[in-house]
Amino acid sequence: MRDPFKINGPTCLSFSGGRTSAYMLHRVLESNGGLPSDAVVCFANTGKEEEATLRFVRDCGEHWNVKIYWVEYRQEAFAEVDFFSASRMGEPFAALIQKRKFLPNPVTRFCTSELKIRSMHRFLRANWERLGMDGVTDWYQMIGIRADEMRRVSKIRARGRSTESRNEIMLMPLADAGVTVADVGVFWAAQPFNLELPTYLGRTLAGNCDLCFLKPASQVLTLIAEKPSRATWWAAMESSVQSNGFATGQGARFRKDRASYAEMQANAINQKDAFGFEDEEGIECFCGD
Q: Where in the chain is the domain with CATH 3.40.50.620?
A: 11-198
Q: In what order do the strands lie in the sheet with 11-14?
A: 77-81, 68-74, 39-44, 11-14, 139-142, 168-171
Pairing of β 68-74 and β 168-171 = unpaired
- pLDDT over 60 (residue 285): no
pLDDT in tens, 263-284: 999 988 887 554 444 455 545 5
pLDDT in tens, 147-176: 999 998 998 888 767 666 677 889 999 999
* Crossing angle of helices 19-32 and 51-64, rounded to 10°: 10
pLDDT confidence of residue 282: 47
Contacts of 7 (CB under 8 A, 6+ apart): 28, 32, 36, 38, 39, 140
pLDDT in tens, 54-95: 999 999 999 999 999 999 999 989 999 999 999 999 999 999
Contacts of 166 (CB under 8 A, 6+ apart): none
Task: Give CATH for domain 11-198.
Answer: 3.40.50.620
pLDDT confidence of residue 249: 63
pLDDT confidence of residue 248: 65
H helices of 40-170, in order, are 51-64, 91-100, 110-111, 119-127, 150-159
How much helix, strand and coil, in percent to the nearest 5, is found in the chain? 40, 15, 45
pLDDT confidence of residue 206: 81
Q: Which residues pair with 161 in a beta bridge?
A: 169
How confident is residue 247, by pLDDT bands cut at 50, 70 and 90? low
